[in-house]
Amino acid sequence: MDRNQSHRQVATMKQSLFDQGYLDHEQFNQLEELQDDANPNFVEEVVTLYYRDSARLVHSIEQALEKSPIDFNKLDSYMHQFRGSSSSIGAKKVKAECSLFREYCRAGNGEGCMRTFQQVKKEYAALRKKLETFFQLARQAGPVDRARRPK
Amino acid sequence: MAQQGGSSSSGGSRILSGGSINVSPMKPLASLKVLVVDDEPMIRTIHKAQLVRAGINDVEVAANGKDAVDLHVNGATFDLILMDLHMPIMDGCQATKKLRAMGVKSSIVGVTSSGGAEKTAFLASGLDDCVSKPFVLQQIAHYLKVPRSPTNPPKYHNP
């Protein structure tokens, strides 16, 4: 596959992530704007940091959900942070599920929280898989020629 | 944890991509010193990259309010401090109050996704402004353009 074809494949995959609602195009594009020759893998590095740091939060939420009675304030605080981190990389579906979770927190609905958290984890894992494929493709394609970088 | 940013020389106005701003600073951007205080490595990475992209080469980071205060105790000075609210050991509110009590006159801009009473209290701790996280460079362009004069009190300070 020639380089142009590879780049087209990367662009197509990225667009599909936007179209399917996995990624917020504005937020993700803002991260991509920070990627340059000095930091050619910046977005991948940021996403890697996101998954590394948020694993701790996911674990904290799991533990908090197992306690009885549930400390909804603590849960809400964890999820506020998780939602914020997810928003920073444009993780749209994850962010939406986090918002729903917080509504259940505020309503003191433990069952709703548990159910929604399963969805949070599902979207979190699904996005991770898609981004791993995307970054693998992007690495194989190599850096985009700046003169021809699409706006 | 506190880390030193890289160094290179460039100054004057810069057009930035992605919703460009044209900044003509009183001090060249390259000579500004900015401190990013946030407990999340990802957020520190993003904010530092935004600032470096804008032409600010001297960007330090701190992982919590205490580290930020310690930098100042050890003699560091900054033109702008970007302060997260929720951090372990010492949060942004406590750190800002401490820095103001120490006589720190730098512009301090809060960066948080919190709202309501929490944000109000944060502002009242001595901030000059508060922006949402992650910030877009345009939101803090004013503070890069006009470092606060030592004679101007913080905008939201309640002594």
Instruction: For residue range B61-116, list pLDDT tens digits in order.
Output: 999 999 999 999 999 999 999 999 999 999 999 999 999 999 999 999 999 888 88
User: What residues of A are in contact with residue B136 (Cβ under 8 Å)?
Assistant: 30
Report the percentage of chain A scoring pLDDT > 70.
95
Among A25, A47, A50, A106, which would you mutate to test the B interface (most chain B Cβ atoms within 10 Å of its Cβ)? A50
pLDDT tens digits, B126-151: 999 999 877 777 788 778 776 555 55
Task: List the pLDDT tens digit at each of the 151 positions of chain A.
Answer: 688 889 999 999 999 999 999 999 999 999 999 998 888 999 999 999 999 999 999 999 999 999 999 999 999 999 999 999 999 999 999 999 999 999 999 999 999 999 999 999 999 999 999 999 999 999 999 877 655 445 4
Question: Using CA atoms, how far apart are residues A45 and B80, in angstroms rounded to an integer?
Answer: 26
Handedness of CA A112, A117, A120, A122 (dihedral sign): negative
Candidates A32, A37, A46, partner chain B, best to mutate (most B CBs within 10 A): A46
Residue in chain A lying closest to B50 (CA): A34
Which amino acid would we find at residue A144?
V
Asked whether residue B2 is assigned to any structural domain, the reply reads: no
Instruction: Report the candidate in B131, B124, B133 with the shortest Cα–Cα distance to residue B156.
Output: B124
The domain defined by A1-26+71-136 folds into Four Helix Bundle (Hemerythrin (Met), subunit A) (1.20.120)
CATH number at residue B129: 3.40.50.2300
Nearest CA-CA distance, residue A98 and chain B, Å: 14
Q: Measured on CA atoms in the order B39, B75, B96, B94, is the torsion positive or negative? A: positive
* Chain B residue with minimum CA distance to A56: B40
Contacts of A81 in chain B (CB under 8 A): 86
B72 in any annotated domain: yes
- Round to whole Å and give the CA distance between A115 and B155: 44
User: Is residue B66 domain-resident?
Assistant: yes
pLDDT at residue B6, rounded to an integer: 36
* pLDDT above 80 for B155: no
Residue B128: inside a domain = yes
pLDDT of amino acid B9: 34
More confident residue, B115 or B154: B115
State residue A147's pLDDT score: 52
**pLDDT for residue A65:** 96
Domain assignment present for residue B61? The answer is: yes
Can you give the pLDDT at residue A2?
82
B152/B136: higher pLDDT: B136
Q: Which of residues 78-97 of B touch A (CB under 8 A)?
A: 86
pLDDT the model gives residue B156 = 57
> Is B159 inside a domain boundary?
no
Tokens of B75: 């003699």
B19 assigned to some structural domain: no
Q: Find chain B residues with C-beta within 8 A of A31's C-beta.
A: 46
Interface contacts (A, B; CB < 8 Å): 43
Number of domains in chain B: 1
Q: What is the pLDDT of residue B146?
A: 60
User: B20: which chain A residues are within 8 Å (Cβ-Cβ)?
Assistant: none
Other CB atoms closer than 10 Å to residue A142's CB: what's the count?
A: 12
The verdict on residue B86 lying in a domain is yes
Sequence spans of domains, chain A: 1-26+71-136
pLDDT for position B150: 58
Q: What domain range includes position B40?
A: 27-145
pLDDT higher than 70, residue B10: no
Is residue A89 less than 8 Å (CB to CB) from chain B?
yes
In the 3-class helix/strand/coil scheme, how is chain A assigned residue by residue? Answer: CCHHHHHHHHHHHHHHHHHCCCECHHHHHHHHHCCCCCCCCHHHHHHHHHHHHHHHHHHHHHHHHHCCCCCHHHHHHHHHHHHHHHHHCCEHHHHHHHHHHHHHHHCCCHHHHHHHHHHHHHHHHHHHHHHHHHHHHHHHHCCCCHHHCCC
pLDDT band at B153 (very low <50, low <70, confident <90, very high): low
Interstrand relation of B2-3 and B58-62 (parallel, antiparallel or unpaired): antiparallel
CA dihedral B52, B47, B134, B66 (to 10 degrees): -150
Which pLDDT tens digit goes with each residue over B29-43?
Answer: 888 999 999 999 999
